[in-house]
Amino acid sequence: PFCADVNKQLSDQNNHRTKTGTLIKENMGRIYLEHIGGARLFSCATCYTILTNRNELISTRFTGATGRAFLFKRVVNLTYSEVQDRVMLTGRHMVRDVSCKNCTAKLGWIYEFATEENQRYKEGRVILERALVTESDGFEEHMGDD
């Protein structure tokens, strides 16, 4: 006999997914957060979850809905939307919106596919809008000799 509700219905309009595409059920437990490390860190402006660092920065010359946006190589602690077809200044792309894994605040998007050859360098990279993240100091991590 089970003594609790089975699956609660998802109330969110946007379905949040993990990187591998699994739909995330709400209220399951303590969210697992990675920490990318580094000297200058970028975090979610809403809940300060660490997302990426200066080392991962590729370009600062992007624009999003809220203004300036940065392109990063690798960003952690994100959830992804369904893939969407968007026409941007630089051409047609397939993108997924990314949100903070911890608080679901919108952060930017990830390029999945670029139709034009000279835009392909963006594939797999993440745009974070400058207004939606905060920068802070990290520290030098102890790596060890071996």
Partner 1 sequence: MQQQQLQNQQTSANGSETVQQNGTDRTLDTEAARSETQNGVADGDPPPTLTVVQEEMVRLIGQHLTGLGFKKSAELLMSESGCRLDHPAAARFRQCVMDGEWSKAEAALNELRNMLDNPSNQTEMRFLLLEQKYLELLENGQAMEALTCLRSQLTPLQHNMERVHQLSSLMFMSNPEELRVAAGWAGIGNESRQALMDKLQHFLPPAIMLPPHRLETLLLQAVENQRGQCSYHNTGSDTQVLGSGGSLLTDHSCPLQAFPCTMVQCLTDHCDEVWIARFSPDGSKLATGSKDATVIIWDVDPETLTVTRRFTLDGHNFGVVYLAWSPDSTKLIVCLQEEAAELTVWNAEHGDQICKVSNSPDDSLTCAAWHKDSRKFVCGGMRGQFYQCGLEGHILDSWEGVRVQCLAVQNDGKTVLASDTHHRIRGYHFDEVQDHNIIQEDHGIMSFTLDSTGRYALLNVANQGVHLWDLNNRTLVRKFRGLTQGHYTIHSCFGGDNQDFIASGSEETNLYRWIHQYEAYATTVILCTCIGNVSLARSSFPPVFLGCYSNDKNVGIW
Residue 65 Cβ vs partner 1, minimum distance, rounded to whole Å: 26
By the rule CB under 8 A, 11 interacts with partner 1 = no
Q: Which is nearer to partner 1, 61 or 139 (CB)?
A: 139
* Interface pick for partner 1 out of 33, 65, 103, 131 (rule CB under 8 A): 33
According to CB under 8 A, which one of 93, 96, 101, 130 is a site residue for partner 1? 101
CA triple 7-26-74, angle to 5 deg:
140
Tell me how far apart the alpha carbons of residues 15 and 131 are, in angstroms, rounded to a whole number: 23
Q: How far is the CB of 22 from partner 1 (least distance, A)?
A: 6
CA 70 to chain centre: 12
| Minimum distance of partner 1 from residue 50's CB (angstroms) | 8
Residues 48 and 94: their CA atoms lie apart, in Å, by: 28
Terminal CA-to-CA distance of the chain, rounded, Å? 52
Judged by CB under 8 A, the residue of 11, 32, 61, 118 near partner 1 is 32
CB of 40 to partner 1, least distance (A): 15
How far CA 7 is from CA of 4, 14, 27, 108, in Å, comes to 9, 18, 10, 29
Asked whether the beta carbons of 106 and 99 are under 8 A apart, the reply is yes
72 and 128 Cβ atoms separated by less than 8 Å: yes
Please report whether residue 137 would count as binding partner 1 according to CB under 8 A. Answer: no
Residues within the interface to partner 1 (CB under 8 A): 1-7, 18-20, 22, 24-25, 27-37, 101, 139-144, 146
